[in-house]
Amino acid sequence: MTGDGTAFDFDALIHEDKVHRSLYTNPAIFDRELTRIFGGTWVYLAHESQIPEPDSFFRTRLGLRPIIMVRDGDGVIRALYNRCTHRGATVCRAAQGTAKSFACPYHGWTFATSGKLLGVPWREGYAHDHRQEDQFNLAQVPRVESYRGFIFGTLNMDAPALADHLGPVRGPIDDWLDRNPGGKLVLSEANRMRFKGNWKLAYDNSADGYHVIFSHRSLLMMENRFAGDDPKGMSFYRQRPDSGRVRVYYFGNGHHFKDKRPTLADGPGAIWRIEGLHPGMEGYESEIRERYGARADAMLDLAGSIPMNINIFPNLLILGNHIQVLEPLSYNETATTWYGTAIVDDEDELDGAADLINALRMRTQEQFPIFGEVDDLTNFEEIQAGLGAEEDPWVYMDRGLGLPDRFTEKDGVVSGPATDEVFMREYMKHYKTLMAADPELSISRGGHD
Amino acid sequence: MGATDRNPSNSSYYVTNDFYAKLVADFEGWDLESRRIDEGPSLVRARSILFREARYLDQDRLRDWLTLFSPECAYWIPGTRNRGDPRREIAFAFHDRRQLEDRVYRLETGFAWSQTPVSRTSRMITNIEVFDTDEPGVTMVRSNFQVTEYWNGQIRFWTGYAVHRLAPESGDDLGVGAILAKQVNLIDCDENHRNPSITL
Ligand code: FES
Ligand SMILES: [Fe+2]
């Protein structure tokens, strides 16, 4: 499954301060990413709340491979190839739901949610019994592991365990989850977008503190039109962001984290205070204050967007309360889905406030995709257009590079000021390692009895 | 803006749990044959308001468009085919009065890159049907739409049906404040969209 016969000199394409346009424009490099990255390393596939019970499924992709995420009848989470073992048709055509089995619409072969082949119509027309032969079970991603609800998969048996691969980025993920009741969240539908551009344009942007006041200028003006001396949202970037306390951290394996929490005031209510204006804010806030008194500030913080930005290479971007998922569609087309998250209060820690908080929380999550992300996506498309210029091939990511005392490095974690492109330089080094390697990729046929 | 400013252009006290509950109920089961109004002034008025709305949007007269909405309005583009409950799921868009004004404000800044250049649109509004409700004079209006958008050298389409909840006629209002709530149902609401930045 590896070895596409194309030789690339990644040392010539990826430098400390710049990368070559072909990383974004060359279809052959994209094809190589589909094995070396989307397959060769851990890739986010789905959230456990999307397949909440046995026999639930959710259709997705690993790179371009059509995948059905299932929780099989025994509750085991699997990533099945949505590819009939007869002649290749997809066996699942619904986006999500529950199913006891998948019947291929073409000739009726039937598979259990575990991937096991159950039936072949008119079997007497075959000289052998497919059900006795493993290769006729649906292929599966051989390694599927979760970290606190996030499901990842890889085709690389030599990859480290997921927890080790994530390494120190687990710290911010834990913080992000632990502020919620029960330390968990569920997905609650999404703002769904796509752009005509390479997927890495979105990953390059994911912790970019440099673009905010320019690319999102209209949103910043909008969300502060009533704010007076009490700036909202991303206003932090309007000051001198590099001398502030917001830092970007590179954790290795392509993962990074921009921590904006140091800009928060102390105590409960600080997150809510910087939240922009949204439908229902004043009405719900007064109701929550009336009903819950001194506890209201902490509750309102749960409706507010936590100023954290955790980016898990290559395709999972946790931003505020969102889980943004990147799906590469071609070298110049990418889907970006901004899943909203809701709190679940199984133990009723919040005395019935969860529904009120979630109603507010849906609105606080819609604003950025609708009024902010659209402008970034336009800029990504315009980069893709600009990179059509062959004779001017370099994309620079050298902000901060070479400045004395700009970065700190501790236990392998590199950190720099909010607007530095250090995370891009570092993830590109990791990207180069992955693209130059030639891992053996494999599938499994399920481990059925 | 003070804490007691209840002008819905400045604050959002009216969007409460009860408001959402009523909205969801109002947009459920309204299209009964027995409630259909096939002719007469309701139909003429509905058509006039919908056509005017389309024209204002096509002409980039967003401030005029805003005048058609009531002070305590809702503007709702569900993100799922069964529409869901906006309290529990992310919508393609859900705006109150203030956020509708936010939307217009942002587009007017000149820095909304997704609308630079500004999209040119042409809207066709057809299949208009008016339904009576339990509230005196309040009607639900269903219409099909197809918006052709020309943006950055390309043509594309936004297609679906809209449901307008219209306030009772108040005489000489020319439709001002008539739209109590507008629900836009895109046939591909659950698909990933490129540059969803025009106003539907
Ligand atoms: S392709 Fe699936 S049964 Fe033939
Ligand atoms: Fe951005």
Buried b (16+ CB within 10 A) or exposed e, A360-393: bbbbbbbbbbbbbbbbbbbbbbebbeebeeeeee
CATH classification for the domain delimited by A43-147, as one of 2.40.50.100, 1.10.3720.10, 2.30.30.280, 2.102.10.10 = 2.102.10.10
Binned at pLDDT 50, 70 and 90, residue A232 comes out as confident
CA distance A339 to A189: 6
Q: Considering only CA atoms, which residue is closest to atom 1 of ligand 1? A: A87
Q: Do the chains contact at A284 and B103, CB–CB below 8 Å? A: no
* Number of continuous H segments (helices) and E segments (strands) in chain B: 4, 8
Give the number of other CB atoms < 10 A from CB of residue A303: 28
According to DSSP, residue A38 is labeled: B
User: How many Å lie between the centroid of ligand 1 and the Cα of residue A92?
Assistant: 12
Rounded average pLDDT over A401-423? 93
SS3 of A415, please? strand
Residue ranges lining ligand 1, Cβ < 6 Å: A 84, 86-89, 104, 106-109
Give the pTM.
0.96
Higher pLDDT, A233 or A125: A125
Position B170 scores a pLDDT of 84
* Residue ranges of chain B with per-residue pLDDT less than 70: 1-3, 172-173
Position A53 scores a pLDDT of 96
Position A163 scores a pLDDT of 98
The topology (CATH level 3) of B4-186 is Nuclear Transport Factor 2; Chain: A, (3.10.450)
- Mean pLDDT over all residues of chain A? 95
Residue of B nearest to A335 (CA): B192
Whether the pLDDT of residue A4 is over 60: the answer is no
Burial class (CB in 10 A: 0-12, 13-18, 19+), A221: middle
Of the candidates A205, A209, A234, the one whose C-alpha atom is nearest the C-alpha of residue A380 is A205
Position B94 scores a pLDDT of 98
DSSP string computed for A260-306: -GGGSPSSTTHHHHT----TTHHHHHHHHHHHHGGGHHHHHHHHSPP
Position A449 scores a pLDDT of 53
Asked whether the beta carbons of B67 and B53 are under 8 A apart, the reply is no
Burial class (CB in 10 A: 0-12, 13-18, 19+), B73: buried
pLDDT in tens, A80-107: 999 999 999 999 999 999 999 999 999 9
Domain residue ranges of chain A, discontinuous segments joined by +: 43-147, 167-434
Chain A residues whose beta carbon lies within 8 Å of the beta carbon of residue B80: 189
Q: Do the chains contact at A192 and B193, CB–CB below 8 Å? A: yes
Backbone angles phi, psi at A370, to 5 degrees: -70, -40
Asked whether the beta carbons of A80 and A45 are under 8 A apart, the reply is no
Whether the pLDDT of residue A3 is over 50: the answer is no
Rounded average pLDDT over A188-194? 98
Rounded average pLDDT over A35-51? 98
Higher pLDDT, A145 or A240: A145
Q: Is the peptide bond before B117 cis (omega within 30 degrees of 0)?
A: yes
CA distance A384 to A22: 11
Rounded average pLDDT over A258-266? 93
Position A239 scores a pLDDT of 74
Asked whether the beta carbons of A418 and A238 are under 8 A apart, the reply is no
CATH classification for the domain delimited by A167-434, as one of 3.90.380.10, 3.20.20.70, 3.40.50.300, 3.40.190.10 = 3.90.380.10
Q: Considering only CA atoms, which residue is closest to atom 3 of ligand 1? A: A107
pLDDT in tens, A312-351: 999 999 999 999 999 999 999 999 999 999 999 999 999 9
Give the number of other CB atoms < 10 A from CB of residue B117: 9
Binned at pLDDT 50, 70 and 90, residue A2 comes out as very low
Radius of gyration of chain B (CA): 17
Rounded average pLDDT over A293-302? 98
Rounded average pLDDT over A199-206? 97
CA distance A380 to A391: 20
Tokens of A275: 């939240």
Task: Tally the C-alpha atoms within 13 A of residue A301's C-alpha that lie toward its C-beta.
Answer: 21
According to DSSP, residue B169 is labeled: P
Position A367 scores a pLDDT of 95
Q: Do the chains contact at B109 and A188, CB–CB below 8 Å? A: no
Whether the pLDDT of residue A274 is over 80: the answer is yes
| Ligand lying closest to the C-alpha of residue A320 | 2
> Of the candidates A95, A222, A335, which has its C-beta nearest B102's C-beta?
A222
Higher pLDDT, A214 or A236: A214
Domain residue ranges of chain B, discontinuous segments joined by +: 4-186
Give the contacts of A274 (CB within 8 A, at least 6 positions apart).
Answer: A231, A232, A233, A235, A263, A264, A304, A307
Question: Which of B6, B62, B90, B98 should one mutate to test binding to chain A, selecting the residue with the greatest count of A CBs within 10 A?
Answer: B90
